[in-house]
Amino acid sequence: MKFIVSSTFLLKNLQAVSGVLISNSSLPILNDFLFDLSGDNLKITTSDIETTMTISLQVSMAAESGIVAVPAKILIETLKTLPDVPVTFTVDPITLGIEIVAGEGKYKMNGHNGEDFPETPVIDEGNEFTINSIALSEAISKTVFAVGIDEMRPVMTGVLMEINPEFVSFVATDAHKLVRYQRFNIGVDLEDSIILPTKPLNQIKNLLGVEDQDVKIIYDQKNIAFEFGRVRLISKLIEGKYPNYAAVIPSDNPNKMQIERMPLLNAIRRVSIFGNQSTHQLRLSISNRTLQLSAEDIDYANEAREDLNCNYNGEDMDIGFNSKFLLEMLANLDTEEVLFEFSQPNRAGLIKQIVDEEVVDKDILMLIMPLMLND
């Protein structure tokens, strides 16, 4: 097995799939890149058993096809130190010794048997649809931060994707906050729901960037695959029944507050510095056209309050929220103004974007549970 490829081009592709690697895995081969050379096409694969990612690239010259598992850390660290030069890889099919020649340098390492690399799952007779990459990247960014981390409730450690002909929804919750992102006019002739693990979603988001392209999604009962450009990622789905999230979204919210997002975000950042760093409790006192934010830490005699202008329609209200959650939510919205909807101080509050009525291709709703306020 022998081929020549640009050092920077190879490094860029290795880094694209390296996020799947497990550091110091108990299975040594999971610390490797799988190189599969066929003609002048080199497929590079990484796997952690649950997720497998493959990227294909064309090499400058190929003499013999073959397959070998290459230690990832030593290869990436070597390539990082090289200028943009042609690199020649030669693999002994018997000993699996790997020789790398770059400029005046020659480097040798031991590879592993590529046949021992985990097999990539196959999706037979799965459902299939296509989604725009920008829409998918935004859906992931707006929801993945809200997933739970409790391994005792595995379904809440993933993102629920609901598919129907009218829209595709992405939902994440940790029982304290919830985000639902909907994308309309996708043109999907399906009706289904599946739970996606967060690790592959983060990998996809990082790779998609800002390029506008189609992403093909194929899934069955156990696995889901994302295909775009030269990349194919396949991952196991999370099994189980997702909570009935719609039941916790309050529908009757007579108290509504419209406010500028960035001034609110920055005020919360300032005031929360003086609050209790364990509870992150933030008091919102709303009346007429004024929102007062306040926080205190009794143990250290710290306190802060700040007034902001708002447009409020409803009864005067004091309600408490976790400032950390509020900051995460507001940072993941894009509009200049946001709308808060409340029913009672002991009920969940909703946060929505205020958008032009002509913008009808997407919708985002965020829910945050209140904290009991200290009198």
All domains in the chain, ordered by first residue: 2-116 (3.10.150.10), 127-246 (3.10.150.10), 250-368 (3.10.150.10)
Integer CA distances (angstroms), 184 to 3, 187, 188, in order: 46, 8, 10
For the chain, the average pLDDT equals 95
pLDDT tens for residues 235-293? Answer: 999 999 999 999 999 999 999 999 999 999 999 999 999 999 999 999 999 998 999 99
Phi and psi torsions of 296, nearest 5°: -150, 155
148-183 pLDDT, tens digit per residue, is: 999 899 999 999 999 999 999 999 999 999 999 999
Average pLDDT over residues 26-34: 93
For residue 360, name the pLDDT band (cuts at 50, 70, 90): confident
- Chain centroid to CA 303: how far? 35
Q: Are 6 and 82 in contact, with CB atoms under 8 Å apart?
A: no
pLDDT of residue 358: 66
- Percent residues over pLDDT 70 in the chain: 99
Percentage of residues in the chain having pLDDT higher than 90: 91
User: What is the rounded CA–CA span in Å between residue 278 and residue 3?
Assistant: 56
Paired tokens of 266? 């920055």
pLDDT-based confidence at residue 211 (cuts at 50, 70, 90): confident
Give the whole-angstrom CA distance, residue 293 versus residue 265: 11
**Residue 116 confidence class, pLDDT cut points 50, 70, 90:** very high
Contacts of 188 (CB under 8 A, 6+ apart): 129, 163, 164, 165, 168
Q: What are 98's strand-pairing partners?
A: 91, 109
**pTM of the prediction?**
0.93
- In this prediction, residue 375 carries a pLDDT of 65
Is the pLDDT confidence value at 24 over 90? no
pLDDT in tens, 49-107: 999 999 999 999 999 999 999 999 999 999 999 999 999 999 999 999 999 999 999 99
Question: pLDDT value at position 124?
Answer: 83
**Does position 346 have pLDDT exceeding 70, yes or no?**
yes
User: To 5 degrees, how large is the angle CA 360–CA 362–CA 366?
Assistant: 125
Decide if pLDDT at 323 tops 80.
yes
DSSP string, 228-247: ETTEEEEEEPPPSPPP-GGG
Q: What is the pLDDT of residue 81?
A: 96
Averaged pLDDT for residues 322-344:
97
- Residue 359: the pLDDT is 63
**pLDDT tens track for 221-237:** 999 999 999 999 999 99
